[in-house]
Chains A and B, each alone.
Chain A
């Protein structure tokens, strides 16, 4: 009668171990964005290179596109920059930029030095539009379909795997649907 009782701690631990093993395969940093599945937030900002012209939510529909939030003060943005350049070169998808809480001169210099993968950049110096997009850290990358609906969001720098396994398949799928 006593023996089964003494097995309880071992059983409790076994359950916990299974849970922890499952937990290892989850990513606690992956926070789902409430914006996924919703149309892009309304905005209209001056372009980075050509302040007279604007870039706004209207420009983000019609074709499948990416919106990449970046800044020159952000080290991880620099890490993912090469990937963006490579992705732009394939021509599979248009990349728009949201230059976030940055200085115009610094951002222009950055694009000159490291290359410009973007179709166009919106200049969000005070970060007001970034708030509507729910940006809480740079870099962030949104996948937007041709209807202007956000389909996916990547927080943190892109990696070769993320581009290959998540972004490109999604882009192709969205392209084939429209």
Chain B
């Protein structure tokens, strides 16, 4: 009964989405206010029914209702309750439901928090969001229905893919989807603005908080994904340039560009049509990512269920959404008038450089992801673009980006005296070059030119940010004024500082773990020991262990440093009873400056095991950087100017001193 209820709720949600996508939009042209206001009502209704649908599926999982095909193939009576819930989005159909649910949630959020928007704008935004909702609901109901029944119902389910039985993965997809879907808000705002012909600073200010929140979710999602891969795949890698990872990274890069370009459009009125194009692209890339993951055109270690029928549907959907919006763009954007003028040396130019670099990197990653497909399509053979290509490309562009990142916050809008800028950044430059050289010259153990580059760049970020903060606070008198600036006035500025510091942290992590990580893959018999990076690893033994839905061989590895025990790690090799897949459960000893990572390979006979031991210096800094970026974004969103209505904003502008205005943003 419940599954039918869920199915019915989804159909009703679809009907409401159709209403949401048509009537309010028509209303904006006929001037019918009742029609326009239907947008919010329909958004609430759609969300309500989507919630009912999601609850029904969750209930089916908790209830072990194996007559539902999706539950039967992704759950099991022995599956722990937490994973029964996360199994809801463990495979294609359910994750699609989660996606649509979040789309509905963003719609409701827009309906609830946009009371200050002009009615026509709100109606158009909700309409566009409704259209996206219609597409996904149709996709789900026509090709991937999560409530499909199975007859006869099996007595036991096939269990959740053991790879996905990890706490990180319980929250990773929801965050990622929140990000993907969140970009649909910026997309809808952009299309609404194009349709209405009003691309102005107000439009940029409305879009900014939504875009930033979506970007924060995506940042957290990617960070969690990387952390999950590190913990669960057992190879000690934190990023694989896998198509599925790229599918989340490309929208992130474009989204990052969008966040910056929106700042220019809001503050200076410049880059308008470019910002609109970025807003369209960011969401298009999210959709394209879905297509690549779901249609089976590319193979990946994450390989979701693939099905060409679904592929054709998504491709059609992509053509309508992306193609349609780009045609509207080509039609309406030429009428957009240019914004404020700016000199060559100005913050605008630097943000433009930032945008260009981010988009180039995103385009190159997209190209690398699609390259095997291009090759195959032109019958040139099968190839795979691997690590070296992506890494080389990344290493060639990231330094430029970071260079610009350091200068930008220290530059004035509109016009900047180059000599003054050079004077201001002199100290930062000297400090970071010195640090870079120290790490590049073979004075320290493990120094190398690349290490010097990485450390130098991170130092450049930290020192230039410090310069900027010191500069800002120099005008403040007394601690109270500083405190007020940090906590109240300058949230979006300090959000930027935090996010950029996150980047510095990630750069340090990536540099050191890539250059100084040590990996050993050895055969060990119980009692044997291994020396690595100054640590002694002793394999004490391997014993059997019984988990709730798996059997495991659990190794005991004692780690000593200078004959003193520092950790006892228990890596496991699990075999899940239902899917009989062997899974590696690595054990990690964590310190701020290094991880010691041990995973069990295969038994190699005579009681010996192949054991993988990794020394990962500063690997945590990568994820810490991701967290800092997300926190920075949240801080920026909490800036009070987003909560003020347009009118009161004007009065405040008039009272703010030009210097303070200069520094904010």
Contact = CB atoms under 8 A, between A and B. Distances in A.
A14 interface: yes
B377 A26 contact: yes
Contact of B374 (A10, A13, A19, A25): A19
B548 interface: no
Interface stretch (B64-72, B321-329, B350-358): B321-329
Interface in B330-384: 330, 333-334, 370, 372-374, 376-377, 382
A22 to B, nearest CB: 4
A6 B333 contact: yes
B549 to A, nearest CB: 18
Interface string A1-32: 01100110110011011011111111011011
Given A24-B297, A26-B377, A31 B382 contact: yes
Interface string B273-286: 10001001100100
A29 B323 CA distance: 29
Contacts, number: 69
Interface string A35-70: 000000000000000000000000000000000000
Contacts of A28: 296-299, 372-373, 376, 382
Nearest to A17: B319
Contacts of B327: 10
Contact of A23 (B280, B281, B318, B376): B376
Q: Is the interface of A mostly helix, strand, loop or mixed?
A: helix
A113 B315 CA distance: 46
B250 to A, nearest CB: 13
A151 to B, nearest CB: 20
Contacts of A17: 315, 318-319, 323
B598 to A, nearest CB: 27
Contact of A6 (B318, B334, B376): B334
B323 to A, nearest CB: 6
A10 B296 CA distance: 24
Given A6-B273, A29-B299, A24 B315 contact: yes
Interface string B251-282: 00000000000000000000001000100110
Given A17-B319, A20-B297, A22-B377, A3 B326 contact: no
Nearest to B373: A23
Nearest to A2: B334
B322 A6 contact: no
A9 B334 contact: no
A32 B381 CA distance: 9
B219 interface: no
Centre residue among B311, B370, B377 by max chain A CB count within 10 A: B377
B343 to A, nearest CB: 23
B312 A24 contact: yes
A93 to B, nearest CB: 28
| A interface bracket (residues with beta carbon within 8 Å of B) | 20 to 34
B326 A20 contact: no
Contacts of B370: 16, 19
B308 interface: yes
A19 B377 contact: yes
Contacts of A31: 382
B295 interface: yes
A16 to B, nearest CB: 8
Contacts of A13: 284, 322-323, 326
B326 A9 contact: yes
Given A3-B334, A6-B334, A19-B374, A24 B311 contact: yes
A9 B281 CA distance: 9
A32 B379 CA distance: 12
Centre residue among B284, B296, B323, B326 by max chain A CB count within 10 A: B326
A26 B297 contact: yes
A20 B323 contact: no
B47 interface: no
B330 A6 contact: yes
A6 B329 contact: yes
A9 B277 contact: yes
Contacts of B334: 2-3, 6
Interface-central residue, A3, A20, A25, A26, by most chain B CB under 10 Å: A20
A14 B374 contact: no
Contacts of B291: 20
A24 B376 CA distance: 11
B315 A14 contact: no
A24 B308 contact: yes
B377 A32 contact: no
A21 B277 contact: no
A16 B284 CA distance: 12
B315 A3 contact: no
Q: Which of B291, B297, B370 is most buried by chain A, counting CB atoms within 10 A of its CB?
A: B297
A138 B370 CA distance: 29
Contacts of A19: 370, 373-374, 377
Given A28-B298, A31-B382, A7 B377 contact: no
Contacts of B319: 17
A6 B277 CA distance: 9
Contact of A10 (B295, B311, B330): B330
Contacts of A26: 297, 373, 376-377
Contact of B315 (A2, A7, A20): A20
Contacts of A16: 370
Contacts of B377: 19, 22-23, 26
A21 B313 CA distance: 11
Contacts of B295: 20, 24
Interface string B591-615: 0000000000000000000000000
Enumerate the 4 nearest inter-chain pairs by beta-carbon distance, A residue then B residue, closest first. Answer: A10-B326, A23-B297, A6-B330, A23-B373
5 contacts: A2-B334, A10-B329, A20-B297, A20-B315, A32-B382
Given A6-B329, A20-B295, 9 more contacts: A10-B329, A13-B323, A13-B326, A17-B323, A20-B318, A20-B373, A24-B312, A24-B315, A25-B308
Interface of B: 273, 277, 280-281, 284, 291, 295-299, 308, 311-312, 315, 318-319, 322-323, 326-327, 329-330, 333-334, 370, 372-374, 376-377, 382
